[in-house]
A and B are shown apart, each in its own frame.
Chain A
Amino acid sequence: MFYRLSGVHHTRYEDTRRLWPIPADRRLVAVLFLLALSAPLWLSELYLQNYLLPWLIWSAATLSLTLLMGVAGQLHFGYAAVMAIGAYSAIHLVRLGVPFELAFIGAGLVAAVIGCLFGAAALRVKGLYLVMATLAMQYLVDWVIVNVPAISGGAHATLQAPEARVLFFSFADGLTRYYFAFFWAVFMTLFLLNTKRTSFGRALVAIRDKDYAASVIGVSPFRYKLLAFFSSSFFGGMSGAVLAFCFYRAVTPEQFGFNVSTQLVAMVLVGGLGSVIGAYLGAAFVLLTPMILSNGIAALSDAGWLSVSANLLAHLPLMIYGALIIGFLLAEPLGLAKIYDNMRNYFLVWPFKHSRR
């Protein structure tokens, strides 16, 4: 009903090949886009800067990891290190006087080159062994940042994001930070949606499904595995730069530690491997649920409905969060995106459930 198909006639090939062939999907996307575009008007500063903004940035980062893990099937457990390289490169480039727009691309390039270097391991190893190789990248990058004061920013290992402007808008302004992150997330979304239907995307899928078979049909695993790591690290590095300039505004090595890498992998997996909407749902779940839970439980405790020790109070949200992850994955192993997909499929034919989909 909601996703009505009757009366929708595609009379040209372009129509069927659109990103969202069903009008209801298009309307939904348009509404979400307008809502996000007008968010500064209807959302308080607190929720804009602390919920929506990080959510968009992390979703963009998850999308670039989805390209690697979901589309190309290459596991990466050091993605926070890729983002760290991007963040630090962007800050150092801007400090050297490079305009932000160029530094932004430069950050992507540096991250891509270094990411590619470690990604080269993927040419020889797969699965758990690739996880180990990318883990090594995480620890090596961490170590280099901490041990080279020129990179980390001296004894305190805190590097302030310098004053910068993007197309005449200063990052000192909260609105610039929000809109830059927003358009970055929009760009990443369109990029991934379109990549999946290009020859490049299909080649990556072929590699994911069976690299041996892919090479038999003429898809070079060497080329496409490296390309997957290159492009994913490129955008991951840029997302790291967005994170540094739009959200943290000061970078320390702890912000890109191993725990952040596992969070990113969790975002991809909980959201649904290879899904665009899943990246958004996964990022929301991993990033925002702990905040909402601990605020909710603290509010309950403040209202006097819950009297437990401070220690348990702090751990209660973690327990619920863990239970939620298990619950969601038990209910739908393919992730939150699949839950949405199930609902959409249900409404696609509702109320004629018996009909063919």
Chain B
Amino acid sequence: MKKTFKKGMIGALFATAALAAAPALQAQETVKFGLFHDFTKVYTFVADEFSQGQRDYLTLINEEGGIKGQKFEAIVRDHGNEPQRGLELYNRAREEGAIYFMFLSTPVANAVVPRALQDKVVLGTPLHGRGDAMVGETFPYVFPMMASYWSQAARLLKYVEDTQGGLKGKKIAHVHIDTPFGREPLPILEKLAQQKSFELRAFAYPSPGNEQSAVWSDVRRYRPDYVLIWGAGNSQMVSVREAVRNGIDPSKILSVVWLTETDMKNIGESTAIGVKRVEVVQPGRDHPIIQRILDKVYKAGKGAGPEARVGNTYYNYGVADMVIATEGAKLALEKFGPPLTGEKLKAGMEMIRDLDTKGFMPPVTITPQDHQGGGQARVSQWDGKAWVPVSDWAAAYQDVVWEEARASAAKFSQAK
């Protein structure tokens, strides 16, 4: 009995090893995108919706006949936020011919950056990865594509400046998770605090941020005019709850992109009416692109997940990521023709000028110098049911952002 068990175990091991070793024997007829996520560890709050949006948009493109006859294929895998697994996926997908990669995990993306630069394949890093990757000269194959965290922080301050008639003398608290991500906007905030002479104080709560009460009583004593909350996933919900409990007016809370309708429903729809967040893509279903997805993908039963998620904030971010990447692919195919390679796709991405998505995103312009796409964002407010925009798409204090990005990128090229 024991022996057969052992034999069975060994057999099973060999079977899995053989499966893993079997290379995907498919001809290179589709454009392959490696869209990897952390479905199981840290980024679970965003991975499912984001990935569903990406896959649905690619399905939509394929249903509509592809681009110039080229169909798209998404390779979707879980890397569990572990760099070594991400690198394995990256190299495996590269052997299968993938030319565009996205990991939605900062540690994994950062480990891939030097390799992508060497292998000349496009690495999309929207809302994660190195913020200084917007400097196209230093990072020719890395595309943040959407407003970086620096631009987001700048956009929020610009909103305060515009609505309050200036930032002078204001007290602004930056309440953040104590990780590199939470600290990231600090250099920009500090520089702006000097320039615009407002008072800035940073409050850090320990990761993962499920317990923040000590920090928020400090924040209350500080009596800030505005509070920036900089976390992700559950810690954002805790921040909003604690802020409200400490008597901070919800309309004075300004959040990074990571705050959704689901989070607000979990907090209590009417608990924090008035909370503001920065957004880089329009949420909701009220848009032609989302309507096309519902029409052609979900009616045909080809959706990549539950239909209820369509139109959620992170779902739309996933769609937007693919809108930009496929636009780059289209321009590249128009100019260079198939088959698409990493170099062609990179050149195509850099040809995007004022990409018009009818308000789904701000107009995106990517150049060989600017890989951030212009850095435009807007502020929206929770009205108890949905996020309502309270400002226009605009880029803010890009001079400060670029100065910081160039300084940081210079350090990277030194190390190379």
A248–B90 alpha-carbon span in the complex (Å) = 13
CB-based contact A146/B415 at 8 Å? no
Q: Is B166 an interface residue (CB 8 A)?
A: no
A311–B81 alpha-carbon span in the complex (Å) = 15
* A contact residues, total (Cβ < 8 Å): 54
Question: What residue in chain B is nearest A298 (Cβ atoms)?
Answer: B77
**A interface majority secondary structure:** helix
CB-based contact A160/B91 at 8 Å? no
CB contact under 8 A between A295 and B180, given known A160-B416, A290-B80 = no
Q: How far is the CB of B107 from chain A (nearest CB, A)?
A: 4
Q: Which of B316-331 contact A (CB under 8 A)?
A: none
* B contact residues, total (Cβ < 8 Å): 54
Q: Is A152 an interface residue (CB 8 A)?
A: yes
Q: How far is the CB of B47 from chain A (nearest CB, A)?
A: 8
Q: Is A347 an interface residue (CB 8 A)?
A: no
A247–B40 alpha-carbon span in the complex (Å) = 23
Q: How far is the CB of B382 from chain A (nearest CB, A)?
A: 27
A254–B80 alpha-carbon span in the complex (Å) = 12
Question: What residue in chain A is nearest B85 (Cβ atoms)?
Answer: A291
Q: Which of A304-337 contact B (CB under 8 A)?
A: 309-311, 313-315, 317-318, 327, 331
CB-based contact A155/B415 at 8 Å? no
CB-based contact B408/A156 at 8 Å? yes
CB-based contact B40/A310 at 8 Å? no
Q: Is B88 an interface residue (CB 8 A)?
A: yes
B107 cross-chain contacts in A, Cβ below 8 A? 252, 254-255
CB-based contact B183/A146 at 8 Å? yes
A314–B77 alpha-carbon span in the complex (Å) = 7
A215 cross-chain contacts in B, Cβ below 8 A? none
Chain B CB within 10 A, most for which of A255, A294, A313? A294
A287–B37 alpha-carbon span in the complex (Å) = 18
CB-based contact A252/B40 at 8 Å? no
CB-based contact A49/B91 at 8 Å? yes
Q: How far is the CB of B151 from chain A (nearest CB, A)?
A: 13
CB-based contact B106/A155 at 8 Å? no
Instruction: Bits for A151-178, please: 1 = Cβ < 8 Å to B, else 0.
Output: 0111111111111000000000000000
Instruction: Bits for B7-41, please: 1 = Cβ < 8 Å to A, else 0.
Output: 00100000011011010100000000000010111
CB contact under 8 A between A255 and B83, given known A50-B88, A146-B180, A249-B111 = yes
CB-based contact A293/B16 at 8 Å? yes
Q: Is A296 an interface residue (CB 8 A)?
A: yes
CB-based contact A160/B51 at 8 Å? no
CB contact under 8 A between A254 and B106, given known A155-B184, A156-B184 = yes
A249 cross-chain contacts in B, Cβ below 8 A? 111, 114-115
A198–B85 alpha-carbon span in the complex (Å) = 38
CB contact under 8 A between A51 and B88, given known A254-B81, A310-B48 = yes
Q: Is B110 an interface residue (CB 8 A)?
A: yes
Chain B CB within 10 A, most for which of A255, A287, A310, A327? A310
CB-based contact B131/A250 at 8 Å? no
Question: What residue in chain A is nearest B80 (Cβ atoms)?
Answer: A290
B5 cross-chain contacts in A, Cβ below 8 A? 331
CB contact under 8 A between A156 and B416, given known A46-B91, A290-B85 = no
Q: Is B92 an interface residue (CB 8 A)?
A: yes
CB-based contact A299/B19 at 8 Å? yes
B106 cross-chain contacts in A, Cβ below 8 A? 252, 254
- A interface residues (Cβ-Cβ under 8 A, vs B): 44-46, 49-51, 54, 95, 143, 146-147, 152-163, 247-250, 252-255, 259, 287, 290-296, 298-300, 302, 309-311, 313-315, 317-318, 327, 331
Contacts A291-B88, A296-B20 given; 12 further ones with Cβ under 8 A?
A: A45-B91, A146-B183, A147-B183, A152-B180, A156-B130, A156-B408, A160-B412, A294-B77, A294-B78, A310-B52, A314-B37, A315-B39
Pull 10 A–B residue pairs with CB atoms less than 8 Å apart, ordered by A: A50-B84, A154-B408, A154-B411, A155-B183, A155-B186, A156-B131, A160-B114, A250-B110, A291-B20, A310-B51
